[in-house]
């Protein structure tokens, strides 16, 4: 079996993380290197390596990540807005090969992103 991703290790309790939400489909925890006052990652428990590698039948899981992200943003009162980011592949600067949605909030974002 291939090595666990860092996010699987968090789900398995092998690496500590500050959890913001968890259910049977996904977990959300605070990013270790925050790029905004609020920076949370929403991660499926199923190992989907990236958006490019998601299967058609993963659509419900991926959709659920966005439902959870919306709920977290509401609960944390990111009422002025927030940004959801999925980095994909090398050019997308994805560093962890386990799909995740970044929730960034608490400051005004800039566009275009770097
Ligand atoms: P990406 O570059 O889109 O793949 O995002 C990976 C994110 O995972 C980065 O923002 C990292 O700061 C974050 N990260 C890496 N290791 C940990 C960890 N142990 N706990 C929380 N966040 C992490």
Domains of the chain, start order:
6-105 (3.30.428.10)
What is the DSSP annotation of 24-69? Answer: SSEEEEE-SS-SSSEEEEEEESS----STT--GGGHHHHHHHHHHH
pLDDT of residue 2: 79
Mean pLDDT of 58-73: 98
The answer to whether residue 1 scores a pLDDT higher than 80 is no
- The residues annotated with a catalytic role in the active site are 100
pLDDT of residue 65: 99
Q: Please tell me the residue having the least CA distance from ligand 1 atom 20.
A: 32
Can you tell me the distance from the alpha carbon of 12 to that of 4, in angstroms, rounded to the nearest whole number? 10
Q: Which residue in this structure is represented by tokens 């090595």?
A: 3
Mean pLDDT of 83-99: 98
Report how far ligand 1's centroid is from the alpha carbon of 32 (Å).
Answer: 6
Mean pLDDT of 52-59: 98
Buried b (16+ CB within 10 A) or exposed e, 17-56: beebeeeeebbbbebeeeebebbbbbbbbebbebbeebee
- Cβ(33) to ligand 1 under 6 A? yes
The answer to whether residue 114 scores a pLDDT higher than 90 is no
Mean pLDDT of 25-39: 98
């Amino acid at each position: 079996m291939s090595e666990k991703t860092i996010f699987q290790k968090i789900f398995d309790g092998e690496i500590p993380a500050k959890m913001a939400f968890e259910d049977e489909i996904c977990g959300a925890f605070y990013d270790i290197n925050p790029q905004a006052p609020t920076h949370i990652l929403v991660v499926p428990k199923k190992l989907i390596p990236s958006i490019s590698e998601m299967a058609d039948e993963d659509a419900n899981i991926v959709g659920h990540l966005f439902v959870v992200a919306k709920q977290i943003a509401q609960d944390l009162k990111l009422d002025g807005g927030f940004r959801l980011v999925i980095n994909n592949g090398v050019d997308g600067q994805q560093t962890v090969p386990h799909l995740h949605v970044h929730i960034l909030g608490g400051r005004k974002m800039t566009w275009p992103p770097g």
